[in-house]
Chain A
Amino acid sequence: MQTQPHHKLTKYLRTDVLPNAFCAGCGGGTILNIFCNVLEEMEIDPNEIIAVTGIGCSSWIPSPYLKVDTLHTTHGRAIAFATGVKVMKPKKRVIVIAGDGDLSGIGGNHLIHAARRNIGLTVFLVNNYIYGMTGGQVSPTTPYSVKSSTTPYGNVERPFEIAELVAAAGADYVSRWSTYHIFQLKKSMKEALNKNGFSFIEITSQCPTSYGRRVGMRNGIDQLLDFKEKSIGIKKAEHLSSAELEEKMIVGKLIDRNRPEFTDGLRRVNEAAAG
């Protein structure tokens, strides 16, 4: 056992695999930090959590650092695997954390269908606008005209508004925040964890290595200041035209409702079938 400096949150971490592998300035550590604080403040026993992740840097936020049961799956499929976990263990809090490429690109189909089913998963999509781990290839959330390693002349696709998509697909809870909005994000994580149905937070996060540097922001701080400047509250945004919102990031809660949850429905069907 290595000795680690004592901190109230180290009990949530696999300290023997620290320090973490994130680049300097990465937003991954911030998200892990906020989530551990949420567990502490909500007094959630880590044994009640099962973390399911995909492939990419963002999937490393819980895996391996968070000391909970962990299923690190194939690229894009975390929600599919998590569905099996939740069906078997509906009382556990099943959390999915993965990237924009993972959850909205290769795994986009699973994301919208899980939202439609309203299965009681809590999903954090870490949107760093890029395929970070593999060196900055364009992703479904890369802004229009941005130069990436696979769009050297600029991206000709428009990005997904991923939080809006998940809300439209039928999720019970959807919000969008960023690693700049640490207090709002913490509050939103608590709300998401308290939902019975599908809860989803799009967390805009900085990736200085594969994204920031390419778009003229030299370090993580530059990107955080950019989040600060371009974010606009959802209420305020209602009064603006789409042209005025073009360069903006709308933050806040998009939806908060209570529809029937999938595993509850399954249980009812099982009981009815058993007579």
Chain B
Amino acid sequence: MEDEIASLGAVIGAVWAGGKSMTATSGPGFSLMQENLGYACMTETPCVIVNVQRSGPSTGQATKAAQGDVLQARWGTHGDHEMIALSPHSVQETFDIMIDAFNLSEKYRNPVIILLDGEIGHIREKIVFPDPDSIEVIPRNIAAGNADPFGGERIPPMIEFGMNQQVHVTGSTHKPDGMRDVSTMEVHDTLIRRIYDKIDSGREDIIKYEEHFTDDFDYLIISYGATARPTMGAVLSLREQGIKIGFLRYITIWPFANRITKSLCARAKKVFVPEMNLGQLSREIQRFTDKEVVSISKIGGVCHTIAEIEEAVVSNI
């Protein structure tokens, strides 16, 4: 396609024509996709968008790594909506998460964003391909009979093109049958709250994270994506030095893992958040705790070293 706006447009068109479809980009291209991303939310189109985050804003340090699009992934398109975003920390996890992403997109009829970063996007690692028969694939929920494709149930079944049902798909506010109604307040309210609630009420099912050393800790460190790798190194080293630190690694970024964040932060004296940005997710974490959240931010295109994280923790306790 000629540009990233067109790429996501073609993806959405292909989905309504019966395909499973995805696109991949980095930074500027992800900015260009924002309007059609909202269209996918509004029309409840299952699709997958990979954004290999690079240093920005604008052209920034092209091809250098960052985690600067975390909030853009959540809020980049206009209007009220929910988003699913996943952030893998290895090549193997990237492979596995692609399958989860397609499954979640079909299950929730929502776009799913893979928030990769330039570090994970560039590394080469050994991976193990699972036996294809062992992979769980969630098929598209297609309407039997003449169910409404845009309402009725919290996650309505789809009607694709070519089913001889003259389905009407629009990014304008629409009734459960798909017909446009932009002037009735209740129609908009019902539609947008349902699209919001279907993700919000699925939190327990969608959200994935990993806990390490959280049986017994004084301090907590939270990270995700590439940053989780040196964080793990720092945690092991700090514990060896007798500093009791626990580690929470987010795999799902959005919807935000607020329950586990709240309960672990409540037990910590202080919370540390290394990120390759100026503190985007530490801001979100702070909303769920009254403990001090220390942002260990690093920008410039290179991930934190173990020593940098260790040093930041030691000098703050």
When distances are taken between beta carbons in the complex, the residues of chain B under 8 Å from A253 are none
| A248 located at the interface, meaning its Cβ lies under 8 Å from any Cβ of chain B in the complex | no
Pick the residue among B6, B161, B165 that contacts A85 (CB under 8 A).
B161
| B18 located at the interface, meaning its Cβ lies under 8 Å from any Cβ of chain A in the complex | yes
Closest chain B residue to A46, Cβ basis:
B166
* Shortest distance between the CB of A234 and any CB in chain B (Å): 29
| Complex Cα spacing A84 to B16, Å | 9
| B307 located at the interface, meaning its Cβ lies under 8 Å from any Cβ of chain A in the complex | no
Does A74 lie within 8 Å of B14, measured CB to CB?
no
| Complex Cα spacing A67 to B14, Å | 20
| A17 located at the interface, meaning its Cβ lies under 8 Å from any Cβ of chain B in the complex | yes
| Complex Cα spacing A271 to B7, Å | 23
Encoded as 1 (CB less than 8 Å from any A CB) or 0, chain B from 11 to 30 comes to 11111111101000000000
Does A88 lie within 8 Å of B166, measured CB to CB?
no
When distances are taken between beta carbons in the complex, the residues of chain A under 8 Å from B18 are 88-89
When distances are taken between beta carbons in the complex, the residues of chain B under 8 Å from A50 are 17, 161-162
| Complex Cα spacing A150 to B178, Å | 34
Encoded as 1 (CB less than 8 Å from any A CB) or 0, chain B from 152 to 184 comes to 000000000110111111111000000110000
Encoded as 1 (CB less than 8 Å from any B CB) or 0, chain A from 58 to 88 comes to 0000011001111111100100111111111
| A110 located at the interface, meaning its Cβ lies under 8 Å from any Cβ of chain B in the complex | yes
When distances are taken between beta carbons in the complex, the residues of chain A under 8 Å from B36 are 74, 77
| B189 located at the interface, meaning its Cβ lies under 8 Å from any Cβ of chain A in the complex | no
| Complex Cα spacing A263 to B305, Å | 49
Encoded as 1 (CB less than 8 Å from any B CB) or 0, chain A from 37 to 65 comes to 00000000011001010000000000110
| B3 located at the interface, meaning its Cβ lies under 8 Å from any Cβ of chain A in the complex | yes
When distances are taken between beta carbons in the complex, the residues of chain B under 8 Å from A81 are 9-10, 12-13
Task: Assign chain A's interface to a size class.
Answer: 20 to 34
Does A73 lie within 8 Å of B14, measured CB to CB?
no
When distances are taken between beta carbons in the complex, the residues of chain B under 8 Å from A83 are 1, 6, 9-10, 13
When distances are taken between beta carbons in the complex, the residues of chain B under 8 Å from A113 are 1-2, 6
Does B161 lie within 8 Å of A84, measured CB to CB?
no
| B299 located at the interface, meaning its Cβ lies under 8 Å from any Cβ of chain A in the complex | no
When distances are taken between beta carbons in the complex, the residues of chain B under 8 Å from A151 are none
Q: A84-B14, A88-B18 are in contact. Are A77 and B167 (CB under 8 A)?
A: no
Binding site for B on A (CB under 8 A): 14, 17, 46-47, 50, 52, 63-64, 67-74, 77, 80-89, 92, 109-110, 113
Show 10 residue pairs from A and B whose CB-CB distance is below 8 angstroms, ordered by the A residue.
A64-B168, A70-B169, A73-B171, A77-B36, A80-B1, A80-B10, A82-B13, A83-B10, A84-B9, A88-B19
- Beyond known contacts A47-B164, A81-B13: 4 more, CB 8 A cutoff: A68-B166, A72-B169, A77-B9, A85-B14
